[in-house]
Amino acid sequence: MSHVPHELHEEFPDKADALHALKLSNAHFAKLADEYHALNREIHRIETEVEPASDDALEELKKKRLHLKDEIAALLAAA
């Protein structure tokens, strides 16, 4: 398994302009993006064994990241 961080601009490569615009104009979107970024970094540190965590804890973090990604995708689709 590769341990590549799932950055938003990589998850939504065709939405780079919309990501940037929403971060500037929508406080809720900016908060979600910041939460996603922090959670994503934490997951990456665990996957690369920089930070220890149980498999269950890692799976829970991944579920939270997926939920945030779904919320972000919905806001991007509505934009």
Domain containing residue 44: 27-78
Would you say residue 9 lies in a domain? no
Note the pTM of the prediction, 2 decimals. Answer: 0.88
Task: Report the alpha-carbon distance of residue 72 to residue 76 in Å, rounded.
Answer: 6
Would you say residue 6 lies in a domain? no
Would you say residue 63 lies in a domain? yes
The pLDDT profile of the chain, 79 residues, written as one tens digit per residue, is 456 668 999 999 999 999 999 999 999 999 999 999 999 999 999 999 999 999 999 999 999 999 999 999 999 999 8
SS3 (DSSP) at 52? coil
Would you say residue 7 lies in a domain? no
Task: Report the alpha-carbon distance of residue 15 to residue 50 in Å, rounded.
Answer: 31
Strand residue runs (E) in the chain: none
